[in-house]
């Protein structure tokens, strides 16, 4: 008999939407009169990014990347592979990376170095969830929705085995089930 790993609500849809609205206002103020490109990291960030852009009150464009990270052979660092690259040039533009959750920072650190080689005006980070307790690579996160402890959550675009992305709230998930 298969048990459902979905647990109690960690953050309600109302709490999430309230904070996303605040982030949209902060981003609008920070980038007023600047050319802004929001860069969503697929797949997890797409729900957050869809809601966030509705609260950003200034003109902006969108692009997406898909990245795969995995541990290398024993004793070697994490390896990162770009599965989908940008469609447009970011040279001279202000790039705001939009993430669903930031954990160790290894993958995002790699991505930032990769993007810096394309000569953007600036690169900043917006994340819905920051699990800073697990950070290995220091990252300057400019816009944070919520700082969370070392728990596994699903919903609002985040998944467990490609399930639960559709939930409007975030739930604790027991991945041991």
- Of 8, 21, 65, nearest to 39 by C-alpha is 65
Predicted pLDDT of residue 135: 94
Predicted pLDDT of residue 76: 47
What is the rounded average pLDDT of the residues 77-103?
Answer: 91
Residue 171 lies in a domain: no
Provide the whole-model pTM: 0.91
* pLDDT band at residue 70 using 50, 70 and 90 as cut-offs: low
CB 9 within 8 A of CB 171: yes
Residue 89 lies in a domain: yes
Is residue 63 part of the annotated active site? The answer reads no
> ∠ CA 115-136-99 to the nearest 5 degrees?
45
CA distance 168 to 14: 9
Structural domain that includes position 120: 13-150
Residue 166 lies in a domain: no
Residue 77 lies in a domain: yes
Residue 167 lies in a domain: no
Residue 121 lies in a domain: yes
pLDDT digits (tens, 9 = 90+) for 32-60: 999 999 999 999 999 999 999 999 999 99
CB 24 within 8 A of CB 74: no
Predicted pLDDT of residue 1: 43
Residue 7 lies in a domain: no
Count structural domains, the chain.
Answer: 1
Predicted pLDDT of residue 81: 87
Predicted pLDDT of residue 177: 56
- Specify the DSSP class assigned to residue 56: -
CA distance 113 to 43: 21
* pLDDT band at residue 79 using 50, 70 and 90 as cut-offs: confident
Average pLDDT, the chain: 92
Q: What CATH number is given to the structural domain containing 68?
A: 3.40.50.2020
Q: With 90 as the cut, is the pLDDT of residue 72 above it?
A: no
Residue in 33, 51, 85, 103 annotated catalytic: 103
Residue 95 lies in a domain: yes
């Amino acid at each position: 008999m298969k048990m459902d790993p979905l647990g109690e609500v960690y953050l309600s849809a109302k709490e999430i939407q309230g904070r996303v609205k605040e982030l949209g206002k902060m981003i609008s103020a920070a980038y007023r009169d600047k050319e802004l490109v929001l860069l969503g990291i697929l797949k997890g960030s797409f729900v957050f990014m869809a809601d966030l852009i509705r609260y950003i009150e200034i003109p902006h464009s969108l692009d997406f990347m898909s990245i795969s990270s995995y541990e290398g052979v024993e004793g070697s660092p994490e390896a990162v592979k770009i599965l989908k690259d940008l469609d447009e040039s970011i040279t001279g533009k202000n790039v705001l990376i939009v993430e669903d959750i930031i954990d160790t920072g290894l993958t995002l650190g790699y991505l930032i170095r990769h993007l810096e080689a394309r000569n953007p005006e600036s690169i900043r980070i917006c994340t819905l969830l920051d699990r800073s307790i697990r950070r290995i690579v220091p990252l300057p996160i400019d816009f944070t929705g919520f700082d969370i402890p070392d728990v596994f959550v699903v919903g609002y675009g985040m998944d467990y085995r490609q399930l639960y992305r559709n939930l409007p709230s975030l739930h604790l998930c027991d991945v041991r089930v």
